[in-house]
Amino acid sequence: MANFPAFKVLEEKVAEDSALRHVHFLFGHDCARTLVLDEPTPPELAEDRRDDVVGVFNEVHGQLERIKVAEWRHHDEDEGSAKEHAVLHANSTPYHRRGWCIAEREWSNARSQSSQAPMLPARFCRKAETGDYTFGHPADFGRVAQLHSEVFESRAPLCKKFRNSDLLEPEVVALSAALPMFLNLTELYLGSSFLGDAEQQLAEAVASLARLEVLTVSQTACDCRASGAFLLKAIAKTRLSRLCLEDVGLHQEGYVALASSLQQHPSLERLDLSNSARGAESGRGLLYWATFEGYL
């Protein structure tokens, strides 16, 4: 259920605009935590909150009124039927399609250490324009999109660590498009994901992170057609000090390429190949070389 008050006083409008301009500080602050809800309140729980009181602006009387949630529907004596309160509406839109909810989640992802990279402003706008994201007030789209763009541009240079898990190929594509914007990223974790045809795109994105020091790829399948490309590009143009490949489905040519690349990467201090080197002669050769060089 959503409450849409109408602001009739200039001071209220000024206060609202000021709050919106700074709302991202709450969600993006490093000391804040955001609880993401997947579904609206279950009907049985909503029934228990019927006596809760909410504030609703009465346009007829020009003032804020306090009404019970149970009274959001009132009986119309003339028509003999229940009608919705004029300014209080039930919102049945799933959270994953609510524009405000998505924006707040993305602002939360703009912390210096985040569970995933925030969405590019252009992608957010496309999804809103195509109806993937909706707003209770259509006018909100413009200001939320503008605010998201400002948040992204101001916070991107401050982001240092991303931890991405359970990504499918389309999400890997989105991550690849966003990563080059985070010039000061030092740690990147990619776990339990499927790269598919997006491996090459992700490789190029990681290669653009000149300050990247720690790269962890865990339980992630690499495409056999581009085997080793991701690791090669990531290592060749970054200053990695630690590379962790845990249970990665890398193929034979990938191990050969990795060994060759590591020989030309003096900044690497630690290499973790837990459950990754298996079967191929090149894998055993890489393990022997890494052990001899002191990486393992």
Q: Which pLDDT band, with edges at 50, 70 and 90, does 4 fall under? A: very low
| pTM of the entire predicted model | 0.73
Query: Alpha helices of the chain — where are they, by DSSP H?
Result: 10-28, 43-48, 99-108, 121-129, 140-155, 169-178, 199-207, 229-236, 252-262, 281-293
**Which amino acid belongs to residue 75?**
H
Distance separating alpha carbons of residues 273 and 259, to the nearest angstrom? 12
> Angle at Cα 166 formed by Cα 40 and Cα 197, nearest 5°?
125
Q: What is the DSSP string of 54-73?
A: EEEEETTTTEEEEEEGGGGE
Burial of 185 (0-12, 13-18, 19+ CB in 10 A): buried
Give the pLDDT confidence of 127-139 residue by residue, as tens digits: 999 999 999 888 8
Across the chain, mean pLDDT equals: 77
Out of 84-93, 190-199, 247-256, which region has the weakest mean confidence (pLDDT)? 84-93
> Angle at Cα 162 formed by Cα 222 and Cα 169, nearest 5°?
35
Half-sphere exposure for 243 (CA within 13 Å, toward CB): 28
| Domains, the chain, with CATH or none | 160-296 (3.80.10.10)
Q: What is the DSSP string of 169-233?
A: HHHHHHHHHHGGG-TT--EEEEES-B-GGGHHHHHHHHHT-TT--EEEEES-BPPGGGTTHHHHH
Mean pLDDT across 25-46: 81
Asked whether the beta carbons of 233 and 195 are under 8 A apart, the reply is no
Residue 99 has pLDDT above 90, yes or no: yes
CB neighbourhood size of 229 (10 A): 19
Q: What is the pLDDT of residue 51?
A: 82
Give the pLDDT confidence of 209-219 residue by residue, as tens digits: 989 999 998 88
DSSP 80: T
